[in-house]
Structure 1
């Protein structure tokens, strides 16, 4: 048996990369954080046309009936390109959490990218644009809560029941782990590219052994995290999913710290795209259960 992504998986990832590379996601992220959603919504609708929001929706509701492995492939690319919006909630959690009449009402629209979902865990992402709140009847009186990541617009919804476990929760955790993996890979790629062009004492800084060691350490941690994320998508085990979230979070956080060290002062500027990933990684490490929560879940199982 060969445990590897299929040619279809790789082609799907490539098509998503190609689309997002030309979609100005950094500009959409900055606009989203300022409350201007249209650039980001345009990207989300484009992703819906490519099938991202329909992956886990059953064929009976207009979806693709795909597997969690397909979901992980997509969300790693979304994390790489730091796509804004409630995609975890819409594409990963809602298709699992919504059943019965709610599924009939909402899943076709969610699959088509005509509606978006949010989930209180306990805070709800982008509740101001969500059409359905899993665990609540409406978004009324939602209270805005500032995140360390300006593009993550969080809300506290009175009366909403937080999602804290079960298959839907685990699917959300898995999608976040894949996002962290993608964000960490972008940070590594950006750091390698910068180390090749930034010169100090007449040489590219990437030629110095100390910088090589820093980047090699990040690459190693990302490569160790990737099979955990993919393996968790195959098994669906809560233990495996929590282990994947911990390892992907640790690897992405190391990538963020190293990227900032390699880039130096320019990495602190608001104009540089590095900052978009730094704040995203820091927020996602604690989202859908922090490291302590998931380590305790692993130990309990």
Structure 2
């Protein structure tokens, strides 16, 4: 099957890339982590104007994956998966294109800046209120405990969950691609013993392994977008988590200790990748989901 994007989808990807590069999304990430939400809120409005918040209900999962790969590539902060992937399907009657909302899984992301907080209780969706903040490995992800309240009418929560999982996979893919691109640029410039470190075979082989891992993950993401079955979605999630984790490990090894310092940009993607490893289901959960589906199909 051919997973090449159409001309319209490629144009949409270029528009997102242009907007996020001009918006200095990394500065937005740093401001969000420091508690300054205004740049992130302004960026959310610009992305909403481009249609990103309506993709879950007004476009196909392919366009949604294009958008979330860009969000991951630029480390855009905010409850995007919750507000633009999960809740539009979980609450089809609600108008979520005008405001942010979040849902606890099990903690609520950025519950202090959204208009509505929800929690999943006994396979149902409930209104919730934010409690104490919980420390996240990614400083741009502000997590909160919640207290569930009254139940609300909801749509297909299983379909909403699968779309959120797919969005997480696409965001991991985008983050992994950014780490690889930045690492390749770094090893071409960094010299040791009079040579660029990228000229050493050991570095080349590790970067090639990352390139292969990401190239194998990408068709799984867009294959699941074309046919978003639970098995396909979980398989994409597993491979994107693995590929992005490999990109983060190799990127850190190539950069050395500087790569993990707060002042160095790479750390933003390393921490985002680490935080997303367990978001919307751990790799172990999704592997079991794939295995169960395969066994049931025998």
TM-score w.r.t. length of structure 2: 0.91
Instruction: Write the distance in 1 (CA, Å) between the matches of 2:185 and 2:252.
Output: 13
**2:102 aligned to 108, 112, 118, which one?**
118
Q: Which residue of 1 aligns with 2:22?
A: 22
- Tell me if 1:136 matches 2:120: no
- Alpha-carbon distance in structure 1 between the residues aligned to 2:250 and 2:39: 30
Is 1:186 equivalent to 2:178 in the alignment? Answer: yes
Deviations 1:29-70 (A, max 9, x none): 12211221111111111111111111123xxxxxxx100111
Instruction: Please identify, of 74-83 and 23-32, the stretch whose mean Cα deviation from structure 2 is larger.
Output: 23-32
Residue among 289, 293, 300 paired with 2:292: 300
Q: Report how many residues are paired.
A: 283
1:11 is the counterpart of 2:1: no
Which stretches of structure 1, 4 residues or more, deviate above 6 A after TM superposition?
none
* Alpha-carbon separation, structure 1, partners of 2:193 and 2:157: 54
Structure 1 residue aligned with 2:240: 248
* Partners of 1:289 and 1:195 in 2: CA distance: 34
Q: How does 1:178-257 map to 2 (within 5 A)?
A: 178-257=170-249
Q: What is the distance in 2 between the residues matched to 1:80 and 1:271?
A: 18
Per-residue deviation, 1:6:
0.6
Scaled by the length of structure 1, the TM-score of the pair is 0.90
Cα root mean square deviation, aligned: 1.7
- Confirm whether residue 148 of structure 1 aligns to residue 141 of structure 2: no
Counterpart-to-counterpart distance in 2, 1:159 and 1:15: 39
Deviation at 1:143, TM superposition (A): 2.0
Q: Tell me which residue corresponds to 1:36.
A: 36
Q: State the distance in 2 between where 1:83 and 1:21 align.
A: 11
Work out whether residues 99 and 115 of structure 2, in 8 Å CA contact, stay in contact via their aligned partners in 1. yes
CA deviation digits over 1:103-145, x for unaligned, max 9?
Answer: 2xx32xx22xx31010111111111111122333243x52211
Structure 1 residues 226 and 144: alpha-carbon distance in aligned structure 2, compared to 1, 3 A threshold: same
1:175 shift after superposition: 0.2
Q: 2:3–2:219: 8 Å Cα contact kept in structure 1?
A: no
For 1:296 and 1:230, locate their aligned partners in 2 and report how far apart those are by CA, in whole Å. Answer: 21
Q: Does 1:68 align with 2:58?
A: no
Gaps of 5+ in 1: 58-64
Structure 2 residue ranges without an equivalent (≥5)? 119-124, 294-298
Correspondence for 1:62 = none
- Residue 276 (structure 1) aligned to one of 256, 261, 268: 268
